[in-house]
Amino acid sequence: MAAVRTSTEIGFNRAAVVAVLVVTIIFLAPIYWIASTAFKPRNLATTIPPTIVFQPEISPFVKLFTKRSQLRTPPTPEEYAAAPWWERVVFDGGEKIVRDGKGEVQWSGYPNRFMNSLIIAITSTVLAVGMGTFTAYGFSRFKVKGEADLLFFILSTRMLPPVVVAIPMFLMYRAVGLNDSHIGLIILYTAFNLSFSVWLMKGFMDEIPKEYEEAALVDGYTRMEAFFKIVLPEAATGIAATAVFCFITAWNEYAFALIMTNRRAQTAPPFIPSQVGSGLPDWTVIAAGTFLFLLPVAIFTFLLRNHLLRGMSFGAIRK
């Protein structure tokens, strides 16, 4: 009996491993596709069947950051020899980098959009997590009149897809002059994330034993000091998890960014596909933009991985 059961178990384990591998491949395939396309020469980007083995190139990234125009005549050997390496790779692709009258290189719109994304996502994450943490602490530790109703109200703001209110929001934003502004998107994303942040942080706050703060109160600290010295460090795990989720939401948001912004405060998501429209689509440039866009979230999550994995209480409270 035992032997039979063991072999079924082994079989089951192997099947599980295979299943995990398949799922992993399905999830990683698009990322690989984007990453590999970002390093492909333009003519290999759209081949059928896809090119798997190729000489990686940096040219898509050079093109991503610069304004280019089609070469009517090939560069003279002198021009080619005088050009820096990054200009040569553009020449090789049959394009040239646009320069102004003083010979300064013209940048593409991408770096600005990327910065906008960073500013808006980081600020709205800090605001949402900060306010969420304070709110959650209040709900967790004090008797609040109508607590259940208030928490339900906070949650109810997530009960319809945000896009539903896009048009009224756009009109309101235009009326008060918030459209195409950083602050406008920051307010919007903070509002999206706040309810989520409050609920998630409430869960984490409830997990932190009250005795920690009580000990600090008796030890001669005010509640505010106890909050900053004891509760916040204990809530680090929860704050990290909440921050990752809020950051991802704000970073990836597309619909409102598309509607509310066009130049000054435009974020990367609506900008990247907009490059498709200018001339022949250069998929390698789009892939390069997308690839760079993926990095911050990956790095942020990677940096916080220890906090995300670490347990809440680690044995200093005996229950």
Partner 1 sequence: MTQIELRGVQKFFGAVQVIKDLNLKIADNEFIVLLGQSGCGKTTTLRAVAGLETIDEGDILIDGKPVQHLKAADRDIAMVFQSFSLYPHMSVYENIAFPLRATRKSKSEIDAEVRSVAKTLQISDLLAKKPSALSGGDMQRVAIGRALVRRPKAMLMDEPIGALDAKLREEMRAEIKRLHIKQGSTTIYVTHDQIEAMSLADRIVIMHEGVLQQVGTPDEVYSRPANLFVAQFVGSPVMNVADAAVAETTSSASVSVGGAASGFEFPRALLSKLNGHAGSELALGIRPEGVLIRRDAADGFLPVETQIVEPLGSFDIVDLKVGTKMLRARTKSGFVSGPGEKVFARIDPTQAHFFDKASGRSLEVRL
**Min dist. Cβ of residue 224 to partner 1 (A):** 11
Name residues whose C-beta falls within 8 Å of residue 231's C-beta, 6 or more positions apart in sequence: 137, 205, 208, 212, 213
Interface residue with partner 1 among 212, 251, 271, 283 (CB under 8 A) is 212
Tell which phi-psi region holds residue 250, choosing left (phi > 0), alpha (psi between -120 and 50) or beta: alpha
Burial of 48 per CB tally in 10 Å (0-12, 13-18, 19+)? exposed
Instruction: Point out which span in 20-28, 128-136, 205-213, 283-291 binds partner 1 (CB under 8 A).
Output: 205-213
Give one DSSP letter per residue of 54-69, joined into a string: ----SHHHHHHHB-EE
If one asks whether residue 101 binds partner 1 (CB under 8 A), the answer comes out as: no
Cβ atoms 238, 205 nearer than 8 A: yes
If one asks whether residue 306 binds partner 1 (CB under 8 A), the answer comes out as: no
Q: Taking the CA atoms of 268, 273, 274 and 279 in sequence, report the sign of the dihedral they define.
A: positive
The CA-based angle 46-51-57, given to 5 degrees, is: 85
Rounded (10°) angle between helices 147-156 and 110-141: 160
Instruction: Point out which span in 5-13, 44-52, 168-176, 219-227 binds partner 1 (CB under 8 A).
Output: 219-227
What would the x/- binding string for partner 1 be over residues 142 to 171, using CB under 8 A? ------------------------------
SS3 of residue 99 by DSSP:
strand
Q: Binding to partner 1 (CB under 8 A): which residues in 59-88? A: none
If one asks whether residue 43 binds partner 1 (CB under 8 A), the answer comes out as: no
If one asks whether residue 46 binds partner 1 (CB under 8 A), the answer comes out as: no
How big is the site for partner 1, counted in residues (CB under 8 A)? Answer: 25
If one asks whether residue 6 binds partner 1 (CB under 8 A), the answer comes out as: no
**Min dist. Cβ of residue 94 to partner 1 (A):** 59
**Min dist. Cβ of residue 124 to partner 1 (A):** 28
Instruction: Point out which span in 38-46, 162-170, 222-230, 246-254 binds partner 1 (CB under 8 A).
Output: 222-230
Contacts with partner 1, residue ranges (CB under 8 A): 209, 211-212, 214-222, 225, 229-230, 233-234, 236, 313-319
